[in-house]
């Protein structure tokens, strides 16, 4: 297994795999209401079998090179995650996403972790377009897209039904040349 440091605060990014199901379920239980405000992940992980099934689905996606799932650990505790929800090398496009427990908010963990994913996708895998799709009301997620230098492309009106409400979804993206340029400028 590998771990990638997310900075001096000791947080790290690691693969999140089926054998982590117990820890993943405990994490979902701690953050169920906060995480579930805009995404269905906590609603899909209600017991060990369903948590294992979600992690297995992403293990299968990783094996098929069509998605990946990584956890964020802080002080040895799983507090969130980032993922390639979709990943298509042939087309050169992917969608990244995230979630985080409320107790871990405000430390820049998601921004740092997503930068690692985008660097890998663009530099190692030749991905040209990285998308970020978030509920328009999910201000923290929209702010991450902005910090990453993504461009807001538009709104899919009432396209995502979640917990009895139809949410508008914002589509953001960054293209490989834009990503490289902004990263080089930041250095």
Confidence at 150, pLDDT banded by 50, 70, 90: very high
Q: How many domains does the chain have?
A: 1
The pLDDT assigned to 163 comes to 93
d(CA 110, CA 2): 18
User: Is 118's pLDDT higher than 70?
Assistant: yes
- Whole domain around residue 163: which residue ranges? 4-186
Q: How confident is the model at residue 184 (pLDDT cuts 50, 70, 90)?
A: confident
Binning pLDDT at 50, 70 and 90, where does residue 47 land? very high
Q: What is the pLDDT of residues 86-116, one digit of tens each?
A: 999 999 999 999 999 999 999 999 999 999 9
Residue 36 belongs to domain with CATH number = 3.40.630.30
Residue 33 is predicted with a pLDDT of: 95
pTM, full prediction:
0.94
Cα separation, 16 vs 70, whole angstroms:
5
131 or 1, which is more confident?
131
State mean pLDDT over 70-83.
96
Residue 1: what pLDDT? 62
CA distances from 14 to 20, 36, 125, 155, 180 (A): 11, 22, 19, 32, 24
- Average pLDDT rounded to a whole number, residues 49-63: 98
What is the C-alpha separation between 53 and 99, in angstroms, rounded? 18
For residue 187, pLDDT over 80 is answered with no
């Amino acid at each position: 297994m590998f771990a990638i440091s997310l900075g001096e605060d000791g947080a790290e990014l690691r693969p999140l795999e089926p054998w982590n199901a117990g820890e993943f379920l405990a994490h979902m239980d701690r953050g169920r209401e906060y995480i579930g405000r805009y995404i269905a992940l906590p609603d899909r992980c209600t017991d060990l079998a369903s948590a294992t099934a979600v992690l297995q689905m992403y293990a299968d996606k990783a094996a098929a090179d069509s998605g990946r799932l990584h956890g964020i650990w802080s002080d040895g505790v799983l507090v969130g995650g980032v993922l390639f929800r979709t990943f298509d090398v042939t087309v050169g496009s992917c969608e990244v996403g995230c979630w985080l427990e409320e107790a871990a908010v405000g430390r820049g963990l998601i921004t740092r972790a997503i930068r690692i994913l985008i660097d890998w996708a663009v530099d190692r895998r030749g991905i040209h377009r990285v998308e970020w799709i978030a509920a328009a009301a999910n201000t923290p997620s929209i702010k991450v897209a902005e910090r990453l230098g993504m461009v807001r492309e538009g709104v899919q009106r009432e396209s995502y039904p979640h917990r009895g409400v139809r949410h508008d979804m914002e589509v953001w993206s960054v293209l490989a040349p834009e990503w490289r340029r902004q990263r080089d400028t930041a250095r």
